[in-house]
């Protein structure tokens, strides 16, 4: 696992844990031990990701990901919003956890595709002039 990013190392460990025992995602306590063992001496540096993966398993995320049909980028976004709200996590943490689980379960192509993004908010600062609508006059 040398050279893998933190998320890739956890994805790899999770994928192998699920290959060895497809029901591993339904047993969070054993899943934590399995991920820690598979990551070996790297486990302490991956503790946040391990915790997030196990917490998502406690919320039945693996079963949900395999049950939703069809699994789309919109459903991944909805699940990440539910996970963020339910766990009190940031949206980025929830999306990252969803991506780890979805990739380990074989949905890596979907994860790699563009997730829908919300439009950027425009911030108007005090003293900024009001926005001028585009002119409707033809160019000369």
pLDDT digits (tens, 9 = 90+) for 5-51: 558 999 999 999 999 999 999 999 899 999 999 999 999 999 999 99
Question: Percent of the chain, pLDDT > 90?
Answer: 64
Count H helices and E strands in the chain, helices first: 7, 0
The answer on pLDDT for 124 being more than 60 is: no
The answer on pLDDT for 126 being more than 60 is: no
What does the pLDDT read at residue 108?
A: 87
Task: Provide mean pLDDT across the span 86-92.
Answer: 94
Query: Which residues neighbour 11 within 8 Å (Cβ) at sequence distance 6 or greater?
Result: 100, 103, 104
Task: Provide mean pLDDT across the span 86-99.
Answer: 94
Task: Note if the pTM is more than 0.85.
Answer: no
The answer to whether 78 and 95 are in contact (CB under 8 A) is no
């Amino acid at each position: 696992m040398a050279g893998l990013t933190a998320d890739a190392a956890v994805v790899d460990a999770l994928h192998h844990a699920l290959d060895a025992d497809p029901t591993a995602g339904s047993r969070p306590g054993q899943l934590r031990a399995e991920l820690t063992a598979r990551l070996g001496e790297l486990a302490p540096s991956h503790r946040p990701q391990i915790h997030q993966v196990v917490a998502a398993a406690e919320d039945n995320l693996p079963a949900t990901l395999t049950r939703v049909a069809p699994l789309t980028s919109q459903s991944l976004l909805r699940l990440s919003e539910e996970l963020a709200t339910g766990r009190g996590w940031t949206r980025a943490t929830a999306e990252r956890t969803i991506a780890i689980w979805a990739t380990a379960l074989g949905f890596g192509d979907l994860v790699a595709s563009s997730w829908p993004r919300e439009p950027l908010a425009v911030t108007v600062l005090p003293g900024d002039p009001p926005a001028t609508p585009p002119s409707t006059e033809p160019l000369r």
